[in-house]
Structure 1
Amino acid sequence: MINILIIDDEPEVGHFLSYLLSSKGYTVSLGGSGKDFYQLIRERVYHLVLLDIRLPDANGLDILKELKKTCPGCKSIVMTGYSTIKTAVDAIKLGANDYIEKPFEDIDELESLIDRLLHHNQSVNDSEIHRIAKQTGLVIGSGKEMQHLIMLAYKIAKKNINVLIEGETGTGKEVLAHFVHQASLRSDYPFLAVNCGSLSESLLESELFGHEKGAFTGAIKERKGIFEIANKGTIFLDEIAEASLSTQVKLLRVLETGEYMRVGDEAVRRTNTRIVAASHVDLAGAVEQKMFREDLLYRLEVVKLTIPPLRDRKQDIPELLAYFLKKQQSQLHFSEEAENLLQHYQWPGNIRELVNVVKRATALAEGETRMITSEYLPDKLRAASYDRTSSRASIIPALRKSEKDLQFYLEDWVKHIHQLWAAEQDVGLDEIIQQVKELEVRIGRAFVTKMLKETMGNRKEAAERLQITTRQLRYFLNEKKGG
């Protein structure tokens, strides 16, 4: 038996939902206030709660927090009006499974949502998310922040609301916008992108709204704009902050009314297009500086998704490298030492910079080797391995720790020492001596490991063949265990 709790202070809404769900065989409890919720939630275990975000005696978000604390396995849908959609998005961030807008325009959609939550497990959503991510080239990674971001993007994708994506240059805002489009109900219609900072004001308006023949110099024929071409689909407006104030006014009109005019025309046209906008600058700050319209920002950021910079998701770099190599159909792979350098770099250009590094490295290494080592990386990445912990620069080497291939280790070590020799800055001699000692231990360890394999693990025979004592052999093995 499935138990559903409805909390809504509008009697007609509560009774309608109660009748609808009871007729489907669910056991329904009905309340109209926060007080009712706290009483009813103690009486039985519920599988789903439909919660009005605005109640006369309680904050719906506070109730949601309590629900997640006392009944973490219970699914939840918050109910909201358009004016409180941002609050509904906050509810999703707190763990609500979805939200619906009142008044309910599509009862079939509401029933479908409830049935899906009650009868499908999370793995279905996860599978769909990863399918769309693969389709759009989005690497989610293992970091919780990125996973939460993609889950939120997936949940709001099917809503008919605008989205603002913020993040540093090169973090992948267009890729995320494409993911939102493909996860939406508009996925069968066009997804078009335009960079507002790459075009002049007149060209941008022509790109967005189209133009009539003779509207300006060079307009030799009429042209459709992307609002016309992408009707029923999604438009991605990158670097929206770069749009002029005049263009912002026209964008605001489209967002508010769905209406626009081609450049040089007086006929009003209509479009049903979803806007996903993006900016690498803080738009709230741009509003304060009178560089961006506040009313336009209000319309754009119904939902705001912030992509973390690559330096905050370095654990995903190996997965990103594998993806980009596969995309280039390359059989190469990065050495452990090269990956270490990549993971310690700060990536001011984010994923876009990483892509360029991979393309450069594969172009240089292709045909010469099967492994991309540090020599194929830009000098700035190797220089970034210098860690200035004091007024003098001390270098922390990112040398290979694996003895799978002694040749690569020795090559990396020699290149590293040569870089220190050629460096035009202070270098700690103690650290270099320590690296020489480490070289001695690792070479010894590699030879011991190799000989043990050849003697099927016979330590005495291995020591004899290496012309060392068994005590020395144990020394290298102990070093290996502690390394």
Structure 2
Amino acid sequence: MEKILVVDDERNIQNILREVLTDEGYKVVTAGTGKGCIDALRKEFFNVIILDVKLPDIDGISLINSIKDISGECEIVVISGHATIEMAVEAIKRGAYDFIKKPLSLEKVRIVLRHAIELHKYKIEKENWDKQIEEKYRLVGKSRAMQKIKELIEKVAPLDSKVLITGESGVGKELIAYAIHRRSKRADAPFVKVNCAAIPTELVESELFGYEKGAFTGATDKRMGKFESANSGTILLDEIGDMDLLTQAKVLRLIETGEVLHLGSNKPVQVDVRIIASTNKNIEEEVRKGNFREDLFFRLNVFPIHVPPLRERKDDIPLLVEHFVKDVVSNSAIGTKRFTPEAIEMLSKYDFPGNVRELRNIVERLLILQEGSEVNDSIVKSIVSKSAVQKEVSLLQQPYREAKKNFEKFYIEEKLKKNDWNISKTAGELGIERTNLHRKMNQLGIKTEKK
């Protein structure tokens, strides 16, 4: 039941509004002074406040600021028998929803109140939805790699520069694209994701650029494309490395002209959209192979962000587990559970070829399978043992030379990670020359591009 607070020093107004609004199904509380209004607000929450301008102890317009400080979510409808345009404008400026002149039309009060409550519900729902979206897309991690990525996001987000996000599948490229969007001047405009790998080649053009009625068999209505849907906002071209060359040429034209051309039309449509692209492929290698246009690559690669795989930022695993547990528990009938330190330690020894996405799936599976309130290391081992959770055990099962090489690679990689891939610092810590470390890295297949 929605609650209404009526603030008016006239008893007959209080009584009439209480009677009428109670019949409408609202719970009504009344107050005759500004102090009474504040006292009522501190005791309970109200959806809408009907506020008279002339109160014995304070001007109603001035009271709006105090009301918003205590209960920013409520809507305020101001009423007055001495209304002026200036008074109404000032009330709206301060945050009132509407202004009604006395003598009151009860029908108008009902309508305004209904609309104010609908707006209030919408704001609450939107706020809850925004919180869910923000939580879903929250960047979780405290590793050096994640800190660097967050710094890059803060630098590029306020600009309109194009961004190319690279990294293996499942590392969280979409989350980074969304983080850039939310911190940009386009944050309140649409964020549209297009999975270029999931759309059949023959449909990519119509999906991206739209089409006119009759443009092809089955085109019974005009339809705008993804670029138009993202107008004023941001578009993420996910897995752009899988886009065919013909569509690449049209995307390049759009970047150069800011125009889209519907299939079946020769009239260009102007769009204002920020482009972020992502891929799990080595785009430079695809350019060399002739699978990706070099000019488009240069256009997109204005600000590159590489997301390292989870195996290279294992410091993030405990926080990610905590985040996923909270997410799964809050969105399912699974009771409250926690991972023991031993379980998290065992998960941290696994390399996660499927990266963060695989970790999330494993966490959910473990929460479902585990009886009781704690997920322990024994059930973790049963789920991921086939993937060689413990490097120590797997090394003992290998021939001497192979085990020695694998341990040496693991040891040097861990030292490099610890020193943020600083060759000189790592060589000093290992007690060897820089040239020897470079030679070892080449021998063991450790790529310096991970830096």
User: 1-side partners of 2:307 and 2:236: how far apart?
Assistant: 16
User: 2-side partners of 1:393 and 1:175: how far apart?
Assistant: 42
**Structure 2: which 5+ residue stretches go unaligned?**
1-130, 401-451
Assess if the C-alpha contact under 8 Å between 1:259 and 1:271 holds in 2.
yes
Residues 246-301 of structure 1, C-alpha deviations (whole Å, 9 max, x = no match)? 00000001111111201222111111100000000110110000000000000001
Aligned to 1:389: 395
AA partner of residue 237 (structure 1): L
Give the 3-state SS of the residue equivalent to 1:277 in structure 2.
strand
Give the 3-state SS of the residue equivalent to 1:265 in structure 2.
coil
Structure 1 runs of 4+ aligned residues shifted over 4 Å read 131-136, 390-394
Please identify, of 329-338 and 371-380, the stretch whose mean Cα deviation from structure 2 is larger: 371-380
Aligned to 2:364: 359
Aligned to 1:323: 323
Assess if the C-alpha contact under 8 Å between 2:139 and 2:176 holds in 1.
no
Aligned to 2:207: 207
Assess if the C-alpha contact under 8 Å between 1:197 and 1:239 holds in 2.
yes
| More relative contact order, 1 or 2 (CA 8 Å, 6+ apart) | 2
Aligned to 1:137: 137
Matches within 5 A, 1:425-440: none
Determine if the alignment matches structure 1 residue 228 to structure 2 residue 233: no
Give the 3-state SS of the residue equivalent to 1:202 in structure 2.
helix
Aligned to 1:334: 339
User: 2-side partners of 1:324 and 1:162: how far apart?
Assistant: 31
Matches within 5 A, 1:203-282: 203-282=203-282
Give aligned pairs, total. 262
AA partner of residue 381 (structure 1): V
Assess if the C-alpha contact under 8 Å between 1:374 and 1:382 holds in 2.
no
Determine if the alignment matches structure 1 residue 147 to structure 2 residue 147: yes
User: 2-side partners of 1:341 and 1:206: how far apart?
Assistant: 48
AA partner of residue 156 (structure 2): I
Residues 136-194 of structure 1, C-alpha deviations (whole Å, 9 max, x = no match)? 63334221221011111111111111100001100000010000000000001000101
Aligned to 2:194: 194
Call closer, same or farther: CA 1:132–1:283 in 2, change over 3 Å. Answer: farther
Matches within 5 A, 1:362-441: 362-365=367-370, 368-377=371-380, 379=382, 381-383=384-386, 384-386=388-390, 387-390=393-396, 392=398
Assess if the C-alpha contact under 8 Å between 2:347 and 2:389 holds in 1.
no
Q: Percent identity?
A: 40
Aligned to 1:344: 349
Residues 339-396 of structure 1, C-alpha deviations (whole Å, 9 max, x = no match)? 122100001000000111111111223xx310112454474612313533255599xx
AA partner of residue 346 (structure 2): L
AA partner of residue 343 (structure 1): S
AA partner of residue 348 (structure 1): P
Aligned to 2:38: none
Assess if the C-alpha contact under 8 Å between 1:157 and 1:184 holds in 2.
yes
TM-score by length of 2: 0.55
User: 2-side partners of 1:177 and 1:312: how far apart?
Assistant: 21
**Structure 1: which 5+ residue stretches go unaligned?**
1-130, 395-483
Assess if the C-alpha contact under 8 Å between 1:158 and 1:183 holds in 2.
yes
Query: Aligned Cα RMSD in Å?
Result: 2.2
Give the 3-state SS of the residue equivalent to 2:395 in structure 1.
coil
User: 2-side partners of 1:286 and 1:175: how far apart?
Assistant: 24
Assess if the C-alpha contact under 8 Å between 1:234 and 1:274 holds in 2.
yes
Give the 3-state SS of the residue equivalent to 1:160 in structure 2.
coil
User: 2-side partners of 1:231 and 1:168: how far apart?
Assistant: 29
Aligned to 2:420: none
Q: CA deviation at 1:216?
A: 2.3
Q: CA deviation at 1:133?
A: 11
Call closer, same or farther: CA 1:179–1:133 in 2, change over 3 Å. Answer: farther
